[in-house]
Structure 1
Amino acid sequence: MRKAVYVALTGLFLAACGGETNTGGGGGTKDDIFTLSRLLGRGVNFGNALEAPREGEWGVTLEEGFFDLVKQAGFTHIRLPVSWTYHALREPPYTIDPAFFARVDWALEQATRRGLRVVLNLHHYDELHQDPQRERARFLALWEQIASRYKDQPDLVYFEVLNEPHGVFNDQPELWNDLFAEALVVIRRTNPTRPVLVGPVEWNRLERLSDLRLPQDPRLIVTFHFYDPFAFTHQGAPWVSPTPPVGTPWTGDRPVWAWGWEDWSWDTGRELVTGGVRVTYERGWAGLRLHARVKAEGYTHLAFRTDREVRLRLRCNEREDAALLLHAPGGQEVEVALRSCGAGEGVWDLVFQNASPDPQPSFLLEGVRLKGPRGELALVTDERGAVRQAMGYAASWSQSRGYPVYLGEFGSYEKADLDSRVRWTRAVREEAEGAGLSWAYWEFAAGFGIYDLSTRAWREPLLRALIPEAP
């Protein structure tokens, strides 16, 4: 994204953060859903509190002062993760504990009377992810109770139907689409215009947005979570198996594959360098294979150059019958029409294969990119560039599908070095805002936290990465 466009979008984002709010009735009809999404602005998750089996069990108990802190720092909303299932009957009528309801009431009141918007969700429903059909009735009954209780909340309160659908839903996303549609019907009986958030399967993974099939409803916001690269953001996290090793930095300028693309190469040495990759074919017919989790659309040509003469066999989208024999002369750009190597409406798989039965000495493959009406996509970028590509994809999906998109979680675990955490956090925040997305950092005061409960103080470098204007 060009700098001028980035600055313009960021200005619009910040203006929206300070916009006026309506109250009452679960959403004023004069505001379209894109406006309501932008008004979320900058947020923070109050994690590890009401999502724990018992509040305080995971080290965080909500306090009134927390709401003052986030408001004064410049945040405009909180995302409130709530694990209702720990506090509801297992059998019909699946009644939610009145005392727990009262605690959530208190949290909503603390936020809304300070003018903070709230994304209220249903968190940690593991049984539902494992067996959606068995848990369907309980899930819908929980939302019937939640929606009924909060139907008169001001329009500062938004509902998020389920945090991070995964498990069975990953392989059968249609099950999640159907269940969400049923839950939306339940919610709309009492909250006809309240904004409702929904995310894709595989833990709200950005690459799975295309699996969503949403009902016709003018008040839907689509959400995703971003923790890339996972080896950095979750290093040392004990709940991840195997635990990513500690010591992975994030500089922003190290070369990486494009966002959403994976290296599926065989019998090939690869060394990423600035702007390209040094390739060594260790055996005959070895291949450098790049595979995309999301089909790249809007591109018609592949361009690249090599630093020496190389003969390659190019294959696209696993079309063996359309493989091309190419002569790269070295030092000159080679441009190939994607349709000539098997790619039609989009490309998701590219193989640069050794065209010889013998091993080959190394060569530099550089400037590898897709070109077309959509612009250019560099397949080797840097860490910051990969974040930009991800947020650009979210913005492009939003524009093409007609739904606003919200970044509901991003953060890095405390085991990473602080300087890297600050660089990564600032980069994600800036690229999200540059793409026009509202966001909520994960999280306030636990393992990813920006606030230190032991010292009762902000972790200032992280806070400034999120809110540069913080007092």
Structure 2
Amino acid sequence: MKLVILLLSAALTGIPSPAPAEDKATAAVAAASSCNNEDQTGVPVARLRAIARGFSLPGWTDRWPPRAPDERMLAQLRTMGLTHVRLPLLLERLSPAFSGPAVIAQSLQQTDHAVEILLQLGYAVTLDMHPAERFQELHQAEPDQGLAILAEVWQRLATRYANTAPDRIFFEILNEPSVPSPIWLEQGPQIVAIVRRAAPDHTIIYGPAFYQRYEALQALTPLADPNIVYAFHFYDPMAFTHQGQTWGRDPPPSVGRIPFPAGLADIEPLIRRLQQQGQSEAAESLSEQFREPWTPQTIDRIFAGVADWAASHARPVIVNEFGVLSFRADPQSRAAWIRAVRTAAERYCIGWTHWEYADGFGFVRRTGSRETIDPVVGPALTAPLGSTPVP
């Protein structure tokens, strides 16, 4: 299979070790040529390399007061080969439908500040339109009104950043569109056209509805605009990646210590416990999700399917969200799953952006104002991968 998809900028096998920290990012860029060194997708190769390995950074540009990261940690991660930061922007703080002029101005200035710091550190930056429930509920109830709000925000934002370097700033149209797929298939291209008129040279990040799942991406017909990177999110199996979550019922917040890799036999004691507690629906969901084993090979097959879609359409792809909630997960299993996703992405030259930085899904630990890399999970994202292929 001839891969024409996203180039990784990873610290792959073959990078000398040990190497001076300041040389690691340069070596990672050189290693990306093992995937593809030709511009065959409509997106310049340099841009694909720039967004090849990254992380989302919520809290800095999507809330007030902002929670700024430690710039020393950002600099350290850059020297370790991470190339890209995805900045979530809270739509509700940028739209006059939800916020007043002072809040909007405050949010734009904070975004300018974060972008300036990240560019100085050598990162590529994606401005990720990441709404909360207020916009999502409105968009579902009144799709046309939601479209108008989204269009107004992007007209202003794309115009504001139109003169930035197109190789360094990327525009992500909408995180996990909440409207049904047929509606987003009509609305998404309209927003792309608005951004393209305001910023004709910048690359757009675009994903499908239905939580941006890989199945939705594989069912998508690419847009005519060639300067687009297609994004999907990966959190399967949800019972593993979201164990301990406190905002829903599936899996129940009490579920934890699910191993990875794992099959049905590995989690049968947990299923029995849920049944004994009267949580038959959760037990059934868990049984269904692990009916087939979840292993690195399972993940590899899924990413191979995404790679086939990308190759057949000559379009670049990025998995720009993946991660495991830390609340009740075994750290070693959590790291194994993250490493498996990263390995599959890099094997198929699919760029990746971990969700997220230092919150529940994070790989950086915060103790007061001090930040350190999680000693178990962090290396799954930053250490060079081995050369043994996944069978």
User: Normalising TM by the smaller chain, what interval?
Assistant: 0.7 to 0.9
Equivalent residue in structure 2 for 1:140, among 142, 151, 176: 151
Give the corresponding residue for 1:317.
Answer: none
Cα distance in 2 between the residues matched to 1:235 and 1:178: 35
Give the corresponding residue for 1:283.
Answer: none
Cα distance in 2 between the residues matched to 1:218 and 1:17: 26
Equivalent residue in structure 2 for 1:192, among 200, 223, 242: 200
Contact 2:323 2:355 in 1 (8 A): yes
Cα distance in 2 between the residues matched to 1:139 and 1:441: 25
Equivalent runs, 1:362-441 vs 2, <5 Å: 382-415=294-327, 416-441=329-354
Equivalent runs, 1:58-457 vs 2, <5 Å: 60-90=67-97, 97-124=104-131, 125-126=135-136, 127-155=138-166, 156-166=168-178, 168-169=179-180, 173-244=181-252, 245-252=254-261, 254-255=262-263, 382-415=294-327, 416-454=329-367, 455-457=370-372
- Alignment length (residue pairs): 327
Flag the 1:16–1:177 CA change in 2: closer, same or farther, 3 A.
farther
The one-letter code matched in structure 1 to 2:79 is Q
The one-letter code matched in structure 2 to 1:458 is I
- Displacement, 1:179? 1.1
- Displacement, 1:67? 2.9
Flag the 1:441–1:197 CA change in 2: closer, same or farther, 3 A.
same
Cα distance in 1 between the residues matched to 2:65 and 2:363: 19
Q: Helix, strand or coil for the counterpart of 1:37? A: helix
The one-letter code matched in structure 2 to 1:247 is G
Cα distance in 1 between the residues matched to 2:192 and 2:100: 19
Cα distance in 1 between the residues matched to 2:299 and 2:196: 36
Q: Helix, strand or coil for the counterpart of 1:104? A: helix
Flag the 1:19–1:112 CA change in 2: closer, same or farther, 3 A.
farther
Contact 1:89 1:95 in 2 (8 A): no
Contact 2:41 2:226 in 1 (8 A): no
Cα distance in 2 between the residues matched to 1:142 and 1:422: 37
The one-letter code matched in structure 2 to 1:99 is Q
- Displacement, 1:381? 5.6
Give the corresponding residue for 2:374.
Answer: 459
The one-letter code matched in structure 2 to 1:424 is W
Q: Helix, strand or coil for the counterpart of 2:211? A: helix
Q: Deviations over 1:181-239 (max 9, x none)?
A: 11111111121121101111111111111443443111011000101110011011111
Flag the 1:223–1:33 CA change in 2: closer, same or farther, 3 A.
same
- Displacement, 1:96? 7.2
Cα distance in 2 between the residues matched to 1:237 and 1:93: 33
- Displacement, 1:469? 4.4
- Displacement, 1:111? 1.2
Structure with the greater relative contact order (CA < 8 A, sep ≥ 6): 1 or 2? 2
Cα distance in 2 between the residues matched to 1:19 and 1:216: 31
Give the corresponding residue for 2:20.
Answer: none
TM-score, with normalisation over the residues of structure 2? 0.75
Aligned residues with identical type, % of pairs = 27
Larger radius of gyration: 1
Q: Helix, strand or coil for the counterpart of 2:89? A: coil
Higher helix share: 2
Contact 1:44 1:441 in 2 (8 A): yes
Q: Which runs of no fewer than 5 residues in structure 2 stay unpaired?
A: 2-9, 16-24, 32-38, 267-290, 386-391
Cα distance in 2 between the residues matched to 1:144 and 1:205: 27
Alignment RMSD (CA, Å): 3.2
Cα distance in 2 between the residues matched to 1:178 and 1:93: 29
Cα distance in 1 between the residues matched to 2:117 and 2:164: 12
Contact 2:57 2:356 in 1 (8 A): yes
Give the corresponding residue for 1:294.
Answer: none
Cα distance in 2 between the residues matched to 1:11 and 1:144: 43
Q: Helix, strand or coil for the counterpart of 1:194? A: coil
Contact 2:119 2:125 in 1 (8 A): yes
The one-letter code matched in structure 1 to 2:114 is A
Give the corresponding residue for 1:40.
Answer: 51
Contact 2:364 2:371 in 1 (8 A): yes
The one-letter code matched in structure 1 to 2:258 is P
Contact 1:121 1:159 in 2 (8 A): yes
Cα distance in 2 between the residues matched to 1:145 and 1:399: 34
Contact 1:96 1:142 in 2 (8 A): no
Flag the 1:92–1:61 CA change in 2: closer, same or farther, 3 A.
closer
Higher strand share: 1
- Displacement, 1:389? 1.1
TM-score, with normalisation over the residues of structure 1? 0.63
- Displacement, 1:246? 2.5
